[in-house]
Structure 1
């Protein structure tokens, strides 16, 4: 089973962290793993890239 190209949108880092926690919990419940090396974060402000980085999972995996 695959869940490709999932995008999460939030107003701030706290909201995104909450969404990541939810997705991770659901993924664990259904036995799926993240391709963490393919994940990333893009932070925009007024339509311009402010920061682009990798992602760190709540369990400390990055």
Structure 2
């Protein structure tokens, strides 16, 4: 009877540690994906700004 309860506790512990690690992985990937998206947006706005400025420069020249 006691052996069974210990076994059960260990499986619950294993389940929780597994669940936590999976959630950390998902959270980390989500966070990285958001960062990548932000970087892309910054790059695009920077590119369009540079293109706009170079167009204005050519008009003045």
TM-score when normalising by structure 2: 0.33
Q: Which structure is higher in helix share? A: 2
Larger RCO (alpha carbons 8 Å, 6+ apart): 1
TM-score when normalising by structure 1: 0.32
